[in-house]
Amino acid sequence: MLRYFIKRLMFLVPVLLGVSVLIFSIVHLAPGDPAEVMLGPSATQEEISNLREQLGLTKPLYVQYGIFLTNTLKGDLGRSIKSNAPVVEEILDRFPATLTLAVLGMIFAIVVGLPLGILAALRQNTWVDALCSFFALVGFSIPNFWVGLMLMLLLSIYIPILPSSGFDSWRNFIMPTIVLGIQTMAVIARMTRSSMLEVIRQDYVRTARAKGISDRLVLVRHILGNVMIPVVTIAGLYFGNMLGGVVITETIFSIPGLGRLIVDAIRAQDYPVVQGGVLFFALCVGIVNLMVDLLYAALDPRIKAQYRAAR
Amino acid sequence: MKTENMTLPGPKTGEREKRRSPWWEVWRRLRLNKAAMAGMAVIIVLVVVAIFAPVLAPKDPNQTNMKARLQPPSAEFPLGTDNFGRDMLSRIIYGSRISLYVGFVAVGIGAVFGGIVGAIGGYYGGRLDNFLMRCMDVLLAIPQIILAIAIVGALGTSLLNLMIAVGISQLPRYARVVRASALTVRGQEFVEAARAVGASDARIIIENILPNCMAPIIVQSTLGVAQAILSAAALSFLGLGIQPPTAEWGSMLSSGRQFLRNAPYLTFFPGLAISVVVLALNIFGDGLRDSLDPKLRQ
C-alpha cells in the first residue's frame, strides 16, 4: 500500500512541473509589461526600465523560469504586484473559504446525487426513473451562474430568507453550496444509475437473492459497495472541476476566495498571483486525485490484492 | 470502432439483408429515440434562428432607446428591454449566433488538435505516446475553467481568443478518445495491409485510423459543444469573454445581474436560452451515443 502511495506521489511531480512551465509561458505571453502596470501611466521610461531590471524581466525567459522554479520549491511565489503582499500569504488567506465551499459542494452532490441515481435504477423504465434522469440531465445542462442568480432572486429577494452575500454564518453557505454542487450532483446521479443497472444484473446479486436475502440487505451488502467504486472515481475527477467552479460561485455571492483572487489578478495583470494561484489549484487537484486513488484501493479489494500479488 | 460490426452479415431476415451503410443503421436507431429526436429538433430550430436572425429579430439588437429603458415584457417587447432600452428578444435571437458559433468552433479546435495528438500517440506508441499523454495530464491537472481564464487573460479578450481558450481546455478529452481507438485499430489486419502496400504513416492515420475513431469523436463533440457553450458563457459572465455591447447570452446575463431586483427578466431569459441549447445538445448526444453503441443502452 505504501509503495503504491509513493509511486502515485511520484507521478505528481512531472505533472506539476509541466503545469509550472505551462502557466509560466501563458503568463509571459501576455501582452502588457508588469513594470508598467506596477508604476501606472505616469511613470517615465527610465523608471520603467529600472524596475524591469530590478524584477529580473530583462533576463532571458529560461533564466526567469529557473528563478521562478527555485523560488517556488522554496515556498516563495513572489509578491503580488497590486498589494505587495507575498503571494503564498494571499493564497493561504483565501484558501479556507474555497476549500469549505468545495467540500460542502461535494457533500451536497453526493448526498443528493447518489440516492437519485439509486432510485432511478431501482425503478428503471418507470416515471420515477424518467423524472430522476431528467432532473439529472437538467442539473448537468443549466449554467450554474444562472442557478445562482435565480436562487438569489427567489430566496433573497422574493422570499428573503437567505443572505445573498458574505460568509459569516452557515446560512451564507446554502446557496453557494447548491450552485457549486449541482453539476457534480447530476454527474453522480447519472453515474450511479448506470453503475447500479450493471451491478444489479451480476450473478452474485442473483445468488444473494436466490438465497432468500431481503431486497434491502442485498442492496446494502452486495450492491452498494460495488456501485460506489465508479462513483468515487467520478466524484474525485469532478472535485477538480468543482474547485474551478468556485470562480463563478465566489463571484456571484461575493465570497473572498481563491477563485476570485485569480480572476481579479488576471484583470489587474498581477502575474505572480495568477502564476501562483493556478499552480496551487493544480497541486490541490493532484492531491485530491491521489486521495481518490487510495480510497479506490481501499474500496476495491481486487486492487489491493493486485498489489500484494505484484510484490 | 463499433460501426465495423454493424456491416457484418447478421441472421438472415429477408429484405433487411440489403447492404446498408452503418450510418443508415445508426440513423434508424436514432429515429426510434424520441428524446434524441426532440433534442435534434431544438438544435435545428436554433441553427435556423441563428442563420435567419436578421429576418426573425423584430428590432435591431443594438438600437438603444432611452425612452424605453428596463421595460418589463409587453406586446411591443416580448422579453422586455435592458437598461439601454434594447429589445431583449432581438438580442437573444442574435445571441444564438455567437453561442453556437463559439461552441462549434471551440470544439473544432479541440477535436482537430486533440485528435491529431491522440492519433499520433496511439499509432506510434512508445515514448512519444507517453510524452503526449503526460502533456494531456498537465492540461487536465488545471481545472478547465481556470485554464481557460488564464489563456484568455494572456491572449486578451476577443471572440477568437475565447474560442481558442475553450478549445484548448477541451483538448485532452478528444486526445484520449482518439488514442484509445487508435490503439485498438493499429494492430488490425487492414492497417498492416496498408503498410504492406507502402502507405505512409500520415496516410494510414488519415485513411485507416481516423475513420475508425469517428463514432466516439462525434459523440464526444456533440457533448463537447454543450460544454463549450457553457464555458464560453461562464467566461463572458466573468467579463473575460465576449465584451458588451455584443449580444451574447453570458455577457447579457452578467450585465442584467445588477438589475436582478427590479428587472429579473434580464437575467432569466438569457439563462433560459443557454439552458435550452445545452440541454438539447446533451439529450441528442446521449441518444447518439446509444445508437452508435447499442450495447451501452440498458
Which one of B138, B231, B248, B254 makes the best mutation probe of the A interface by having the most chain A beta carbons within 10 Å?
A: B138
Q: Is A137–B268 a contact, with Cβ atoms under 8 angstroms apart?
A: no
**Residue B274, pLDDT above cutoff 60:** yes
The per-residue pLDDT of chain B, averaged, comes to: 84
**Residue B264, pLDDT above cutoff 60:** yes
ipTM: 0.85
pLDDT at site B113: 93
Q: Is B275–A143 a contact, with Cβ atoms under 8 angstroms apart?
A: yes
pLDDT at site A163: 81
Closest CA to A72 of A58, A91, A52, A47: A91
Residue A134: all three cell numbers together: 431528467
pLDDT at site B271: 92
- Residues B150, B148: Cα–Cα separation, whole Å: 5
Chain B environment of A240 (Cβ under 8 Å): 141, 143
* Length of chain B in terms of residues written: 298
Distance from CA of B148 to the nearest CA of A (A): 10
By the CB < 8 Å criterion, does A240 face chain B?
yes
Q: What is the largest CA-CA distance in chain B?
A: 76
What is each CA distance from B236 to A29, B99, B157, in whole angstroms? Answer: 22, 11, 9
Half-sphere exposure of A185 (CA within 13 A, CB side): 27
SS (H, E, C) chain A: CHHHHHHHHHHHHHHHHHHHHHHHHHHHHCCCCHHHHHHCCCCCHHHHHHHHHHHCCCCCHHHHHHHHHHHHHCCCCCECCCCCCEHHHHHHHHHHHHHHHHHHHHHHHHHHHHHHHHHHHHCCCCHHHHHHHHHHHHHHHCCHHHHHHHHHHHHHHHCCCCCCCCCCCCHHHHHHHHHHHHHHHHHHHHHHHHHHHHHHCCHHHHHHHHCCCCHHHHHHHHHHHHHHHHHHHHHHHHHHHHHHHHHHHHHHCCCCCHHHHHHHHHHCCCHHHHHHHHHHHHHHHHHHHHHHHHHHHHHCHHHHHHHHHHC
What does the buried/exposed string (b/e) look like for B192-227 if buried means 16 or more CB atoms within 10 Å of the residue's CB? Answer: eebeeeebeeeebbeebbbebbebbbbbbbbbbbbb
Residue B200: all three cell numbers together: 505512409
Phi/psi at B182 (nearest 5 deg)? -60, -40
Per-residue pLDDT reduced to its tens digit, B118-158: 999 988 888 999 999 989 988 888 888 888 988 888 888 88
pLDDT at site B5: 46
- Residues A18, B134: Cα–Cα separation, whole Å: 8
Q: Is A143–B298 a contact, with Cβ atoms under 8 angstroms apart?
A: no
Residue of A nearest to B136 (CA): A15
Which one of B99, B145, B146 makes the best mutation probe of the A interface by having the most chain A beta carbons within 10 Å?
A: B146
The pTM of this model reads 0.86
Per-residue pLDDT reduced to its tens digit, B14-25: 445 556 677 788
Do B121 and B179 form a contact (C-beta atoms < 8 A)?
yes
Distance from CA of B17 to the nearest CA of A (A): 32
pLDDT at site B22: 76
Phi/psi at A86 (nearest 5 deg)? -60, 135
Residue of B nearest to A144 (CA): B234
pLDDT at site B215: 82
What is each CA distance from A299 to A70, A227, A229, A294, B3, in whole angstroms? Answer: 39, 10, 7, 9, 36
How would residue B6 be classed by pLDDT, with cut points 50, 70 and 90?
very low
By the CB < 8 Å criterion, does A287 face chain B?
no
Q: Is A23–B150 a contact, with Cβ atoms under 8 angstroms apart?
A: yes
Q: Is B260–A153 a contact, with Cβ atoms under 8 angstroms apart?
A: yes
Distance from CA of A186 to the nearest CA of B (A): 12
**Residue B13, pLDDT above cutoff 60:** no
Per-residue pLDDT reduced to its tens digit, A189-225: 988 998 888 888 888 888 888 888 888 888 887 888 8
- Residues B37, A209: Cα–Cα separation, whole Å: 39
Q: Is A292 left (phi over 0), alpha (psi -120 to 50) or beta?
A: alpha
Q: Is A141–B226 a contact, with Cβ atoms under 8 angstroms apart?
A: yes
pLDDT at site B295: 58
| Cross-chain CB nearest to A137 (options B144, B239, B282) | B282
The residues that bridge with A86 in the sheet, in sequence order, are A79
**Residue B2, pLDDT above cutoff 50:** no
Chain A environment of B232 (Cβ under 8 Å): none
∠ Cα B159 B165 B168 (to 5°): 135
Q: Is A288 left (phi over 0), alpha (psi -120 to 50) or beta?
A: alpha
Domains and CATH numbers, chain B: 90-293 (1.10.3720.10)
10-residue averages of pLDDT along chain A (311 residues) = 78 88 84 72 79 78 86 85 86 90 92 92 89 90 91 86 78 89 91 87 84 82 82 82 86 88 86 89 87 78 67 50
**Residue B279, pLDDT above cutoff 90:** yes
By the CB < 8 Å criterion, does A64 face chain B?
no
Per-residue pLDDT reduced to its tens digit, A37-85: 777 777 778 888 887 777 777 788 888 888 888 888 888 888 887 788 8
Half-sphere exposure of A82 (CA within 13 A, CB side): 15
* Length of chain A in terms of residues written: 311
pLDDT at site A205: 83
